[in-house]
Amino acid sequence: MKKEMTYLDYAATTPLDPKVLRAMMPFLTLDYGNPSSVHSAGQKAAEAVEKSREKLASFLNCSKEEVVFTGSATEANNLAIFGLVKKIQKLGFKSHIITSEIEHHAVIEPFKILEKQGVEVTYLPVDGEGRISFSEMEKAMKENTVLVSIMYANNEVGTIQPIKEISELIKKNRKKLFSTDYQIPFFHTDAVQAVNYLDCDVNNLGVDLFTLSGHKIYGPKGVGALYVRKGTPLEPIILGGGQESGLRSGTENVAGIVGLGEAISQIKRQKSRLRQGHSTLRVSDIRPEDSVPRDSMNSMSFGGRAKNKNLQRLRDKLIIGIIKTIPGAKLNGSAKDRLPNNANFSFKGAEGEAMVIALDQKGIAVSTGSACSSKSLEPSHVLVALGLSEEEAHTSLRVTLGRGTKEQDIIKILKELPIIVKKLREISGKFN
Ligand SMILES: *Cc1c(COP(=O)(O)O)cnc(C)c1O
């Protein structure tokens, strides 16, 4: 990345923390042993893997044995979903599984495959802000529901789901799966976008399976982890040498795992430093004609549970600035239950992809939504589930902030974007 690039796409990936790189370096160079080897070089690598596992366990408030390293969060989601359903299928049980309409593709696609294979599936709808409804969820739960998978925070619009409350609802509806000790349904959450900002104590949250990713938390790409609560039935989806307690064969990505451990330790430290944020303003309170006095800007915030105040302040400056300067700009997602680093807008008459390209030419990196769907012409399934028309969904822009974001970056996008939107609207003629 060029130094002068304004990077505002932290939900797609984050830069590697220099401390993380430093921790990884020995295992990319001198300490290249295979953790399965008996000799001391192998044992050194094995120890490093176990140390990292301890760091994750301490962060998640679980035991070491409950942490499984994978090659990505995508793989962790696949392991959680296929692994659980396959294991229960082996008992000859006809399963029903539940997820939401706004999950990442790494959850949606496994659900679709299982559905094709005859597993009964419910996709829960969400409200206009991207929240699932408890009553819909309660209605969806059946005698044979074995798995509920609901993401902690959405990667496109940043909506936070009340995971603890959902797990309490699930617990209330739990029953013993006949002839086993399993209490169904089990609860999985894809927490990839939440790890930087929200509570990740798996016992407090009450989840059985919890997915995280290295490269979304200033760690390396190509490594993820799945928390698996003791006693959760899981069948491996990758078979071989039996690494990771048989749940994920393949020689461990030692440097990646060490990097993930260091990235997690950094977040743990950062979280203990930050205090709870506040929500004082609703999006519905803001109209373009509102003039927001400069001094009061700092006290305004979206995203009630956010802990990172400075990030949130910059993000709110962005949201308020955009809504004030671009006519008809609309904020997608939730005003209150929102990640502190996420802003997602629709600009009627301006095409998302065109805005991304034009901003890139000005040295600003943003996204239309998820990195995965941006290559296809399909509208974002998340925005459609929030009730946007396909046309509206094609006019969306996701701006996500992170540790490196400076006041100057926000000033820069606030200067460039209104000009770009105006031009694109003139070309399309779809906004007057
Ligand atoms: C990025 C992301 C993933 C995929 O993570 P990888 O480690 O890149 O496979 C899964 N879920 C969510 C919510 C994400 O944002």
Domains by residue range for the chain, with CATH = 18-270 (3.40.640.10), 275-428 (3.90.1150.10)
Band of pLDDT at residue 284, cut at 50, 70 and 90: very low
Residues 294-348: pLDDT tens digits?
A: 333 333 344 444 457 899 999 999 999 999 999 999 999 999 999 999 999 999 9
Cα 390 to chain centroid, rounded: 23
Separation of 365 CA from ligand 1 center, angstroms? 19
User: Cα separation of 232 and 366, whole Å?
Assistant: 39
User: Cα separation of 155 and 197, whole Å?
Assistant: 13
Tally Cβ neighbours within 10 Å of residue 360: 12
220 CB within 6 A, ligand 1: no
Residues 185-208: pLDDT tens digits?
A: 999 999 999 999 999 999 999 999
3-state percent helix, strand, coil for the chain, nearest multiple of 5? 40, 15, 45
Ligand 1 test: best mutation among 16, 100, 193, 226, most atoms within 8 Å of CB? Answer: 193
Q: Which H or E run contains 276?
A: none
User: Cα separation of 27 and 296, whole Å?
Assistant: 49
Mean pLDDT in residue range 353-380: 84
Which atom, in ligand 1's list, is nearest to the CA of 154?
13
74 CB within 6 A, ligand 1: yes
Sequence-ordered list of residues with C-beta below 8 angstroms from that of 353, at least 6 positions apart, any chain: 368, 374
Band of pLDDT at residue 283, cut at 50, 70 and 90: very low
Band of pLDDT at residue 276, cut at 50, 70 and 90: very low
Residues 34-90: pLDDT tens digits?
A: 999 999 999 999 999 999 999 999 999 999 999 999 999 999 999 999 999 999 999
- State how far the alpha carbon of 394 is from the alpha carbons of 79, 319, 344, 374, in Å: 32, 19, 12, 10
Residue 178 scores a pLDDT above 90: no
Mean pLDDT in residue range 344-371: 93
Residue 374 scores a pLDDT above 80: no
Residues 199-254: pLDDT tens digits?
A: 999 999 999 999 999 999 999 999 999 999 999 999 999 999 999 999 999 999 99
* Strand-strand pairing, 67-70 and 396-400: unpaired
Separation of 177 CA from ligand 1 center, angstroms? 31
DSSP 380-399: PHHHHHTT--HHHHTTEEEE
- State how far the alpha carbon of 126 is from the alpha carbons of 72, 123, 158, 210, 360, in Å: 27, 10, 13, 21, 32
Residue 9 scores a pLDDT above 70: yes
Residue 275 scores a pLDDT above 70: no
Separation of 74 CA from ligand 1 center, angstroms? 6
Is there a catalytic annotation at residue 372? yes
Residue whose C-alpha is closest to residue 155's, from 198, 200, 190 = 190
Contact 278, 72 (CB under 8 A): no
Strand segments (E) across 58-119? 67-70, 96-100
Residue identified by tokens 């830069």 is 15
Tally Cβ neighbours within 10 Å of residue 9: 19
Which residue in the list 25, 41, 372, 411 is annotated as catalytic?
372
Mean pLDDT in residue range 417-423: 98
User: Cα separation of 38 and 57, whole Å?
Assistant: 25
148 CB within 6 A, ligand 1: no
Residue whose C-alpha is closest to residue 314's, from 398, 409, 397, 396 = 409
User: Cα separation of 219 and 212, whole Å?
Assistant: 11
User: Given this model, what pLDDT does residue 209 score?
Assistant: 98
Predicted TM-score (pTM) of this structure: 0.92
For residue 164, which phi and psi values (nearest 5 degrees)?
-60, -45
